Structure 1
């Protein structure tokens, strides 16, 4: 009888993943941070070399070395074009877990963002005190590198969007999907969540909403593997109680972490399900020019950009203007805009320039972090493009049968 191979240690796994890289450099033109700095250490190839050196004991995780890993946005543009199929996402997660969380992480702020109840309380306090009108004066008193300053600048009063009507004729034999609300998205993207439920029900699905909590993405990508594992277990428990056949999230940024927690479950962007049943959906015309921003996670994790475009084209008279690439990333990247606000702002400038050239009446983006980050940049530039989740627009235009 063949003996089972002993499990790899984390260092062995990192070294094995790094060995897959053939150092061809095809990833360099797609990397936002390499484009920002022109520094090999800020490229996927450079970061893979750093990871390999750390795993083999040829280097120590000094501040000067780890900063290049911390700067990585995790956009995965590199992974999408890699001819050697390097699993860069897994390599990055394992390497950050090896060296542990950065001492620069704004722990208190991130802890608050992971608690939907605290976010709702903050929103009520902010609304009652008129924070939107004086937040910039408060932000200006904080250092340019402050995570709290960046959080203040991205704060906005949630838009009051009328709840779409609920389709009738729901049946128990319809396929059931579970919706994972997340943490920030469960508060800031509540309208998109309601829209997803309405659209999915109209397309013939039953929707079970799971409790709102953090999936662990910020901890996973921040190197806190113990916390990420605990939250993954909570995801699994919540999923098992749902009785659904597949899991969805209106925020593509959660999908990779949810798939990691539930490797045997179909976890997808709701637009993928909706596009498969678009013949069941009828939309009212809308004469509006909209710029469509495709978040990195929608392109490289959800892979749902075609499904989204197909759905939006079902709305008669809607003038779609897709943002070109490059630029490749707006700089939001989860907590990156809080930890490295100046770098995130530089990345954002290119995206805002592309939006301006499209001259839209509205901006659509499916990632709440991207929308908040871009909206903060618009405020600074005096631009007035209202932002919205694409699902919210689709639900507003949906024709509901009597």
Structure 2
């Protein structure tokens, strides 16, 4: 049996185990914010109070879908399919099942089962086009910002020859390279801690999620397994992941299936999200954080990546002079992009967060992950505070600074001005002006979820933990 066949067979066995173990009690649906959010998304007139949710019916429908009953129009099954499709990865469900089921994985497998109703060729093409768009955006945006020798630090090609394994592998994922200053700060901090590393990432080391989302499990799995082999290759004690999507994809779907199918490959496949690792090294890091950073800041935070928000808070609490201010925002999703199926409430949540930050007199609204940073920086000119990533604050406390070129270019808000400012790097990285213009328009200026015009933003307020919107 080849690797991909073993991987898919193991996925199927894991699904069979879920079907056998699930009692349809509805505990996972009861704690999930998505069903109620979906009700409000499709009917803005729904009361701010939580609408009635048939939790047992939802879980029963999911098990039916996993059994292959995907064509029925029975209302419970339709509602279950919508729940699975809209799952925002909040993670409230991860520790509620008495039978050891991971409901987030269960819903991802329900999406896989539902996708089988589409033609296999369409699924492959959808994954191929999504990967192609992502790859072009990463390649061009990273090269617009960094000279070749600096960009090489974030490339697998930068690995030095060594006689012993590195302490860690730093896995950037793909899209972090659109904001490369964040990745460089991560490496700077590892250098300050005297931790040796190899860097892996970029589209060649994708986690496979873009193929798996439309249901191309074979190609998505093949991509993920190749990446795992690359990550395990250096023999490091730990793999530090940056991207929460990659962490969920590998930690919940790929690694458990791969290590069952190929148990001899299990060594070296454990992943830890970067801020969780840094927080575990605070005894060594905190004495180095000597520079004052006198700012009032709040986090743009999401609970779906376990341990991340507490870790980032612990890190920022060690920054001299920094004051961390709480905002009343909902505990929904794991980053803004995870709320794609709930755009109305995502926009209300972000607009409310921006207004609260203004009312709190903040100096900065601080994102955790790269995708959120790309969204936030576009709003900076319209608010009396700046947008930062938490690694910039940690870096500042260590005396480390990396220019946020993504922000500088984004705030020009003019494709011709951006091209003019980037000519040196365009030439050094052998980019074409035509391709650079196209990517700037699509992936730099066009990649904005919420309108930056304050007059066009929704006026909803949210209660923490529910995602409930009330009109003011």
Q: Which of 65, 84, 97 is the matching residue for 1:54? A: 65
Q: Secondary structure at the match of 2:93?
A: helix
Tell me which moved more, 343-352 or 34-43.
34-43
Q: Which of 359, 367, 371 is the matching residue for 1:365? A: 367
1:255 aligns to 2:247 (yes or no):
yes
Q: CA RMSD in A?
A: 4.0
1:184 aligns to 2:194 (yes or no):
no
Q: Quick check: which has more Rg, 1 or 2? A: 2
1:224 aligns to 2:221 (yes or no):
no
Residues 144-223 of structure 1: pairs in structure 2 closer than 5 A: 176-188=167-179, 190-213=180-203, 214-223=206-215
Q: Which residue of 2 aligns with 1:290?
A: 297
Q: Which residue of 2 aligns with 1:137?
A: none
Residue ranges of structure 1 left out of the alignment (5+ in a row): 1-5, 128-156, 164-170
Residues 2-401 of structure 1: pairs in structure 2 closer than 5 A: 12-16=16-20, 19-24=22-27, 28=30, 30-35=32-37, 37=39, 47-56=58-67, 60=71, 66-80=81-95, 85-100=100-115, 110-115=130-135, 117-121=136-140, 176-188=167-179, 190-213=180-203, 214-259=206-251, 260-263=253-256, 264=266, 265-281=269-285, 282-283=288-289, 284-298=291-305, 300=306, 303-329=307-333, 332-334=336-338, 337=340, 341-342=343-344, 344-375=346-377, 378=379, 382-383=382-383, 385-399=385-399
Distance (Å, rounded) in 1 between the aligned partners of 2:376 and 2:98: 32
Residue ranges of structure 2 left out of the alignment (5+ in a row): 1-8, 41-49, 152-161, 257-265, 401-472
Matched-pair contact (CA < 8 Å) for 1:21–1:84: no
Q: What TM-score does the superposition give when structure 2 sets the normalisation length?
A: 0.61
Q: Deviations over 1:352-373 (max 9, x none)?
A: 4554444322122222223334
Distance 1:33 1:199, change over 3 A: farther
Shift of residue 43 of structure 1? 7.9
Distance (Å, rounded) in 2 between the aligned partners of 1:262 and 1:71: 24
Q: Secondary structure at the match of 1:77?
A: coil
Distance 1:288 1:347, change over 3 A: closer
Shift of residue 187 of structure 1? 2.1
Shift of residue 254 of structure 1? 1.7
Q: Which residue of 1 aligns with 2:262?
A: none
Shift of residue 342 of structure 1? 4.3
Distance 1:248 1:383, change over 3 A: same
